[in-house]
Amino acid sequence: MDLKYDDLQTFLKVFEAGTFTKAAGELGLSQSALSQKVARLEDVLQATLLIRHPRSLSLTATGEKLLLHAKQAIQMQSDFLQDYNQYQSELNGVLRIAGYSSVMDSIIIPKLAPFLRKNPGVKIEFSSYEMFELPALLKSNSADFILTDSSLKLPATEELKIGEEEYVEIRAKKYPKAPNTYLDHTSKDNATASYFQFIGKKPNYQRAYMGGVYSIIEGVAEGLGHAVMSKHLVEKDKRFEMSIPKKRFVRPLILTYHTQNYYGPLQQEIQKLLSLA
């Protein structure tokens, strides 16, 4: 038996919608017809694909593999048909990029903005998360690309180093007697500790959590403490004194995505653009 293209489309829609009820409404099908399509795939593969929860769905291991296959199959057909559409010369499609805020806001979005203006048929869904949350997004197929500051070495993925971030200490010029507190995103943010470990210092300091990189910057500016910060975010900000160690603390910027047999033109173009970031 074969995997029918229409069933793959339905399976992908169910995953994206999050529930059978919502997917059925978007596709204009009854829940019974929708369930039959998914059951047909399960019969072919002899495996359960989706686990139903009261208000959501989750994928089994087989479901995760089929989701990647379905995306590739649908993308390949779309790209093939586009080649024969004389009225469609621009790229189109949707990609989801997730990363941490200091990179998303200051590097990735500005880098891709000219491309998006030239290609109105392309939609990119940008989202910012804490570093520790990003691997799960890729594994659950909730993002097509993730951006991290270290190599994750996740199974069945590819990694591309697209740049580096240098970190420095910042203090507010206006508040030289600010408390000996270092501001971080959350308790799981290891930037400050990693910085001091790298340069060989063991200062005694308190921690406070601001929830986001720009909140940290404003917190330092208002005299709430000091911070270890990406240099490119503050080097032109005259409110701060920067302490740059002799031994530069640099972290890589890594783009990670699923290994696929086929990468569509849009995905290839985004990879190309970000590799120049």
Residue 54 pLDDT level (bands cut at 50, 70, 90): confident
Give the tens place of pLDDT for each residue, 99-137.
998 899 999 999 999 999 999 989 999 999 999 999 999
User: Under CATH, which number does the domain 93-164+252-275 receive?
Assistant: 3.40.190.10
Give the tens place of pLDDT for each residue, 200-246.
988 899 999 999 999 999 999 999 999 999 999 999 999 999 999 99
- Domain map of the chain by residue range? 5-83, 93-164+252-275, 166-250
**Residue 203 confidence (pLDDT):** 85
Average pLDDT over residues 55-81: 87
User: Under CATH, which number does the domain 5-83 receive?
Assistant: 1.10.10.10
pTM of the model: 0.77
**Residue 202 confidence (pLDDT):** 86
Residue 47's Cβ-side half-sphere holds a number of Cα atoms within 13 Å equal to 10
> How far apart (Å, rounded) are the C-alpha atoms in residues 140 and 94?
17
Q: Which two tokens stand for residue 231?
A: 């240099």
Residue 46 pLDDT level (bands cut at 50, 70, 90): very high
Average pLDDT over residues 48-71: 90
Average pLDDT over residues 245-260: 94
Looking at domain 166-250, its CATH superfamily turns out to be Periplasmic binding protein-like II (3.40.190.10)
Asked, colleague to colleague, whether 5-83 and 166-250 share their fold, the answer is: no
Give the tens place of pLDDT for each residue, 171-183.
999 999 999 999 9
Q: Which residue intervals of the chain are DSSP H helices?
A: 5-17, 20-27, 31-45, 61-83, 101-103, 109-118, 134-139, 191-199, 213-221, 231-234, 265-275
